[in-house]
């Protein structure tokens, strides 16, 4: 009986390794494999296998944009990881759950998760958790419109880079540092961050964020007037994105391609890319699409279409303005988050 249990553990571990690899490129297949592994793990009370199977299903649901299911699975995985003191998986799951809440625009929930990541990371002296806590909180500060604090959070995360061995996390941080440099229009700094990310690719198997490397490089080249070089980078990014369920990434990629083709005078290509966006995940992306389509319509002499797209563009702008009292609400939330962060960091130093 014990040898059979040992064989099953090996089968479960290998099945979950395959499922983890497939989670972003073939989430349906990953869900099927992880579900099988979960049943096997339950049959022999292999708790680490059960928890990892739940985590893998959460990641696959997230990749498929089934975020409510992803959140439910992540919660179950986190509970099991905590119950059995599987702390590395617990931190992974907490980061995933926080990212899901962020994608759902539940920023208060995301903040709670990443602050907990930071606090427990300090308590257990886990540099990876601390880095991911700062990185996640930096993204929330960006959504609150606080660029200086976003930069400060990302730089704090950078301090822990020498202490981690996870290339995927380091790659993600470099991409966020590049995006932050773009927001400050410091394109030379952004290109250096992207080069640091690219240097890690040879050390990695599959990198789910690789398309972002080429997207941001294309974004920068376009703003530098290197339109043909930008087009090549954006086409490469789109090709990598095509095999994933990353709706956000594909949407911004198609918009940038549309704008680049418009700048190149390739009006039909611009229109095709923009019309290929199935459903933009956020209002401001929808607004951006209609703005570019209005410019394309004007360039081809279709003033009737131009008028319609500008109407939609400004209607969406009004909806965004109504959706917040955003500036002052975001500012208050940003201040509250900064105060909570100070408490966590001061507790560490006490």
Residue 32 lies in a domain: yes
What is the per-residue pLDDT across 187-211, written as a single tens digit (0 to 9) for each?
A: 999 999 999 999 999 998 788 889 9
Residue 69 lies in a domain: yes
Phi, psi for residue 301 in degrees, rounded to 5: 80, 15
What global pTM score does this model have? 0.88
Number of domains within the chain? 1
What are the residues whose beta carbons fall under 8 Å from the beta carbon of 141, sequence distance 6 or more? 147, 149, 150, 153, 334, 337
Residue 59 lies in a domain: yes
Domain enclosing residue 60, as ranges? 1-86
Residue 314 lies in a domain: no
Residue 80 lies in a domain: yes
Query: Is 173:136 a contact under the CB 8 Å cutoff?
Result: no
Residue 155 lies in a domain: no
Query: Is 317:285 a contact under the CB 8 Å cutoff?
Result: no
What is the per-residue pLDDT across 279-318, written as a single tens digit (0 to 9) for each?
A: 776 777 888 889 888 999 888 888 888 889 999 888 888 8
184 DSSP assignment:
T
Q: What distance in Å separates the CA atoms of residue 243 and residue 302, rounded to the nearest whole number?
A: 34
Assess whether pLDDT exceeds 80 at residue 181.
yes
Strongest mean pLDDT among 83-97, 198-212, 316-330? 83-97
Question: Of 100, 57, 58, 94, which is closest to residue 78 (Cα–Cα)?
Answer: 94
pLDDT for residue 3 = 52
Residue 4 lies in a domain: yes
Higher pLDDT, 164 or 277: 164
The most distant pair of C-alpha atoms in the chain lies apart, rounded to whole Å, by 77
- Tell me, what CATH number does 48's domain have? 1.25.40.10
Phi, psi for residue 174 in degrees, rounded to 5: -60, -40
Question: Of 97, 10, 90, 19, which is closest to residue 60 (Cα–Cα)?
Answer: 19
């Amino acid at each position: 009986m014990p040898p059979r249990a040992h064989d099953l553990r090996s089968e479960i571990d290998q099945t979950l390794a395959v499922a983890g690899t497939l989670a972003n490129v073939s989430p349906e297949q990953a869900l099927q494999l992880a579900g099988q592994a979960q049943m096997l793990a339950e049959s022999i009370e292999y708790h680490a296998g059960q928890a990892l199977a739940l985590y893998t299903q959460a990641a696959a649901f997230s990749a498929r944009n089934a975020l409510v299911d992803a959140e439910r699975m992540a919660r179950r995985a986190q509970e099991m990881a905590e119950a059995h003191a599987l702390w590395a998986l617990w931190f992974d799951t907490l980061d995933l759950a926080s990212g899901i809440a962020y994608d759902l625009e539940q920023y208060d929930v995301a903040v709670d998760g990443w602050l907990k990541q930071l606090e427990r990371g300090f308590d257990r002296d886990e540099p990876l958790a601390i880095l991911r806590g700062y990185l996640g909180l930096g993204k929330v500060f960006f959504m609150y419109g606080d660029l200086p604090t976003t930069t400060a959070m990302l730089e704090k995360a950078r301090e822990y880079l020498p202490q981690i061995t996870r290339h995927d996390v380091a790659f993600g941080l470099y991409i966020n540092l590049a995006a932050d440099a773009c927001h400050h229009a410091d394109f030379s700094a952004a290109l250096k961050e992207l080069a640091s990310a690219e240097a890690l690719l040879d050390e990695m198997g599959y990198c789910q964020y690789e398309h972002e490397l080429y997207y941001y490089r294309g974004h920068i080249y376009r703003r530098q007037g290197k339109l043909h070089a930008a087009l090549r980078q954006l086409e490469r990014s789109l090709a990598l994105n095509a095999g994933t369920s990353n709706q956000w990434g594909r949407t911004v990629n198609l918009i940038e391609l549309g704008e680049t083709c418009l700048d190149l005078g390739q009006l039909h290509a611009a229109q095709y890319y923009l019309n290929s966006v199935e459903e933009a995940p956020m209002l401001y992306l929808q607004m951006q699409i209609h703005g570019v389509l209005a410019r394309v319509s004007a360039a081809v002499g279709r003033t009737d279409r131009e008028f319609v797209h500008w109407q939609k563009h400004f209607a969406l702008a009004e909806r965004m303005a109504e959706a917040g009292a955003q500036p002052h609400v975001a500012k208050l939330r940003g201040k509250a988050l900064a105060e909570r962060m100070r408490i966590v960091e001061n507790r560490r130093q006490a």
